[in-house]
Amino acid sequence: MISDRRLRWHVFWCRRKSDTKSRFLLELARTVARAPRVPDPPPLLEIGTRSGGSALLMLRVLNDVYPRGTRHPLLLTVDPYGTRPYEGSSSLYDERHYRAMKRNLAPYANHIHYMMDSTLFLQTLGAGLYLWIDGAKRPVDQFSLVYLDGSHDPAIVWSEIEQLSQRVVPGGFLIVDDTDWFGGQVRRRLEADAPRLGVRLRHNGKQTILER
């Protein structure tokens, strides 16, 4: 098992590339290290990538957890960039962030970026997303970990949670960032609906972590 000290070291290398505070990045790193490890591991998914800081952390931890020479899980990231208006904040994410993301994540062949918002990604997923791997068409329909840090609009986040929580494998995690935004609407709804969604739930400051 990877030590907490080592995870902190990975956070140290990524924290300046992210706008997420170290203590929340550390929890993300711990969750990646604890996600189910099986021979043909399902991908991880991040919605909201900015400059790639949190994605870099996930890829570094995967590199550490999976032995060299074995197939590492894929990390799919989803972000439209394009100065999309950001609900609840004046932050804007444009080609500067896109360029930084490509630079930061370029060394990782197990990273795939989808240049679209989560609405279009979820439609594509629902219609039957697949990848070509080793000469065969492989469905992408389950994830070992999902990290939601895109739009914080409660309706958008809720639609992501509804659709993606069902696709997390048993023992896997769904982390929702900033559930305290918009008066904590998403947090309250999660607390009420956790049994129906079939997840255990805990909060770590502004993050809410669901385990299947």
144 forms part of the interface with ligand SAM (CB under 6 A): no
Whole-angstrom distance, CA of residue 37 vs CA of residue 32: 10
- Nearest distance from C-beta of residue 43 to ligand SAM, angstroms: 17
Using DSSP's 3-state secondary structure scheme, residue 155 falls into helix
Number of H helices, E strands in the chain: 7, 9
In angstroms, give the least distance from the CB of 180 to ligand SAM: 14
Q: By rule CB under 6 A, what count of residues binds ligand SAM?
A: 23
Window contacting ligand SAM (CB under 6 A); options: 46-54, 102-110, 125-133, 186-194: 46-54
The pairing of beta strand 143-148 with beta strand 44-47: parallel
- Segment interacting with ligand SAM, rule: CB under 6 A, options 32-40, 123-131, 145-153, 166-174: 145-153
Give, as one character, the DSSP assignment of residue 35: S
Query: 114 forms bridges with which residues in the sheet?
Result: 78
Q: How far is the CB of 20 from ligand SAM (least distance, A)?
A: 4
Tokens representing 149 are 């840090």
Helix (H) or strand (E) holding 130: strand 130-133
H or E stretch at 33? helix 22-34
Q: Hey, which residues between 98 and 117 contact ligand SAM (CB under 6 A)?
A: 117
Which of residues 10, 30, 97, 113 is near ligand SAM by CB under 6 A? Answer: 97
Smallest gap from residue 118 Cβ to ligand SAM (A): 4
Interacting residues with ligand SAM (CB under 6 A): 18-20, 47-50, 53-54, 78-81, 84, 86, 93, 97, 117-118, 149-151, 156
